Amino acid sequence: MALKAYDLTGRTAFVTGAAGGIGRACAVLLARAGAEVRCADRDEQGLHETATLIKDEGGTARPHHLDVTDPAGLQQAVESCERLDVMAAVAGIMHSSPVLETRDEDLDRVLGVNFKGVLYACQAAARHMIARQVRGSIVTMASGAVDTGGPGLLCYGASKAAVVQLTKTLATEVGPHGIRVNAVAPGWVRTPMTQRHGEAQAHTEALMARRSPLGRVGEPEDVAHAVLHLASDASSFTTGQILRPNGGVAMPW
């Protein structure tokens, strides 16, 4: 019975940021659980690679080349689904700058993707689910950065803190429709996005591994399993919550 609760056969899941990293891992795992997966990203090549991975494993995937900062395009893609059961709003970007050097354009860019992009995905999914009376699940992507401050984290941390507030607020508003809304707040995860930071990334990764009781940093699949749990019937009485797959690192900095 426990395994049956994770079976998504006959359901449709929409994953933003699906071209790589955590988003790709989520799309692949949701497909393995039986869902038809709609993969969305602005990286067209990575998007099609994810769809191919799913199809090669016998799953069903449809790519949507779009930018999550475009609410009309996102809404149109969601409306193309006959039925939507799961929204995993994973798309996000990283940015680091000292508070005293943070520019308006930095804040606007990070909030535009990490907060507004999640907001638009949530809005599109909730509208679709309510109109079709689907008791679905919306999963947002927060971060361990919401639990503490750290050098350079203003834009990124603020955007993820806003996602937490969105998650908790939306959960109260759509709960009466049978829709659950939860967030995943990962610790440090080894992804193509974090790998771009060279020596700084290597230093941070080593530090996070030392601080974890498990002695390692996260992999995209670690986060994907948390998303699957919140997307499935195994968490049918869970809403407005923040799940933290962080290797036990309570204070990242």
pLDDT in tens, 134-154: 999 999 999 998 988 788 999
pTM, full prediction: 0.94
pLDDT in tens, 175-195: 999 999 999 999 889 887 776
User: Do the domain assignments include residue 83?
Assistant: yes
3-state secondary structure of 178: coil
Which CATH number do you get for residue 36? 3.40.50.720
User: Do the domain assignments include residue 249?
Assistant: no
Q: CA 85, CA 134: separation in Å to the nearest integer? A: 7
Domain count, the chain: 1
Report, as residue numbers or ranges, the catalytic residues.
156
User: Do the domain assignments include residue 252?
Assistant: no
pLDDT of residue 1: 46
User: Do the domain assignments include residue 138?
Assistant: yes
User: Do the domain assignments include residue 251?
Assistant: no
Q: Is 10 left (phi over 0), alpha (psi -120 to 50) or beta?
A: left
Cβ atoms of 182 and 125 closer than 8 Å? no
User: Do the domain assignments include residue 166?
Assistant: yes
- The residue segments making up the domain with residue 37 are 4-243
Q: CA 69, CA 52: separation in Å to the nearest integer? A: 25
User: Do the domain assignments include residue 43?
Assistant: yes
pLDDT in tens, 90-109: 999 999 899 999 999 999 99
